[in-house]
Structure 1
């Protein structure tokens, strides 16, 4: 479904990605993991058109998308839950959800289904988004992305800084999405929670994928985890 091949990208004179490559098949959940500053978020920005690649290839369902505008990429079916949530604080919960919604015939996601997935959003649908807790804001960010009805969903640090109970609810949501066949790319530091969700990990080190394998493979190689993840 998504192929990233030899991706190079950076900011001004700073180069961040040095030939990074991976792929995601339909219905699969994959991860990008690694220490901070290794290029994971830059990879997401390049995929979504927010950072223009300097080299390499990105294709979605066989179509080259590197360098396309973010709105064009989103309309092709890629959805993003960005690092830091970036909700619209001045809007209500419901207004946030419908602002970027992409309803279409046969669409899987609508407002009612998102509220069923995250009942707290239904309880607070008339509240200003700025009054939500951090965990509720993250639920809102995920719900907003789902309402674009993405075929490929990217979550960048979706559980960072959240209380354990809220993190558990986010992971429950992701398991439900996987069971429904949603293709997902997740960036996260919680290897234990990802162990039963992710099909394949990809370790990113200094702008390259240096290892890929199953969570079981990674769990059995303590030296690898210590070298690249510090765990």
Structure 2
């Protein structure tokens, strides 16, 4: 599905990624985990064309997407749920969803399907997005991405700052998507909830992948978790 090889990227004169490799096979859930400031969001922004690729290659399917603008990468099938959600506060829930829906793609995700997944969005469909709770805004951000019928769904900090009951709804949603064969790149800090969901974890440290393996392999190495993920 997606393969990033030896990619380098950063901000201005500062380099953040140093030859990072990441592969996301079709119909798998892959995580990118690590402490704050290690390059997770930079990796996402580089994949999405929001930051220039300084070196390396990014392939989406059979297509090399080096230098592609974000809208073009999105049209190739990357749906992003960004850190901080970034819903359109001045628009209603319905208008947020309609604004990003794709009429030129065939797929399972329609407005009705998103409302079925998140009934709260249907209840608040005429409500301004800025008046939603953080959890409801995250549901809206996920629904907005799903309406592009993405080949690859990317979630940056999927459950950060959400109430426990809302986090459980988000995890249930992601587990359903996995069962339905959705390819996912997930950034989150909750290893317990990710254990049954993620097929392969990738630990990032200072802009490089320093370890990758299954959930069972990760949890069997507490020293590794403490070294790279502990506070």
TM range (shorter): over 0.9
Tell me which residue corresponds to 1:55.
55
User: Secondary structure, in 3 states, of the residue corresponding to 1:168?
Assistant: helix
Superposed, 1:133-152 pairs within 5 Å as 133-152=133-152
Q: Distance in 2 between matches of 1:66 and 1:163?
A: 38
Q: Distance in 1 between matches of 2:105 and 2:77?
A: 14
Tell me which residue corresponds to 2:191.
191
| Residue segments in structure 1 that go unaligned for 5+ positions in a row | none
Q: Indicate conservation of the 8 Å contact 1:8/1:17, yes or no.
A: yes
Superposed, 1:74-223 pairs within 5 Å as 74-104=74-104, 106-223=106-223
Q: Distance in 1 between matches of 2:23 and 2:66?
A: 15
What TM-score do the two structures reach when normalised by structure 2? 0.99
User: Secondary structure, in 3 states, of the residue corresponding to 2:101?
Assistant: coil
Q: Deviations over 1:107-156 (max 9, x none)?
A: 21100000000000000000011110000000000000000110100000
CA RMSD after TM alignment: 0.8
Q: Distance in 1 between matches of 2:22 and 2:193?
A: 22
Paired residues, what number?
231
Q: Indicate conservation of the 8 Å contact 1:30/1:200, yes or no.
A: yes
Q: Indicate conservation of the 8 Å contact 1:158/1:188, yes or no.
A: yes
Q: Which runs of 4+ in 1 moved over 4 A?
A: none
Tell whether 2:29 aligns with 1:29. Answer: yes
Tell me which residue corresponds to 1:66.
66
Q: Distance in 2 between matches of 1:70 and 1:10?
A: 16
Q: Indicate conservation of the 8 Å contact 1:79/1:148, yes or no.
A: yes
Q: Distance in 1 between matches of 2:105 and 2:35?
A: 42
Q: Indicate conservation of the 8 Å contact 1:103/1:147, yes or no.
A: no
Cα separation, partners in 2 of 1:46 and 1:198, compared to 1, 3 Å: same
Q: Distance in 2 between matches of 1:105 and 1:188?
A: 29
User: Secondary structure, in 3 states, of the residue corresponding to 1:136?
Assistant: helix
Shift of 1:222: 0.7
| Residue segments in structure 2 that go unaligned for 5+ positions in a row | none
User: Secondary structure, in 3 states, of the residue corresponding to 1:20?
Assistant: strand
Shift of 1:105: 5.5
Q: Indicate conservation of the 8 Å contact 1:103/1:110, yes or no.
A: no
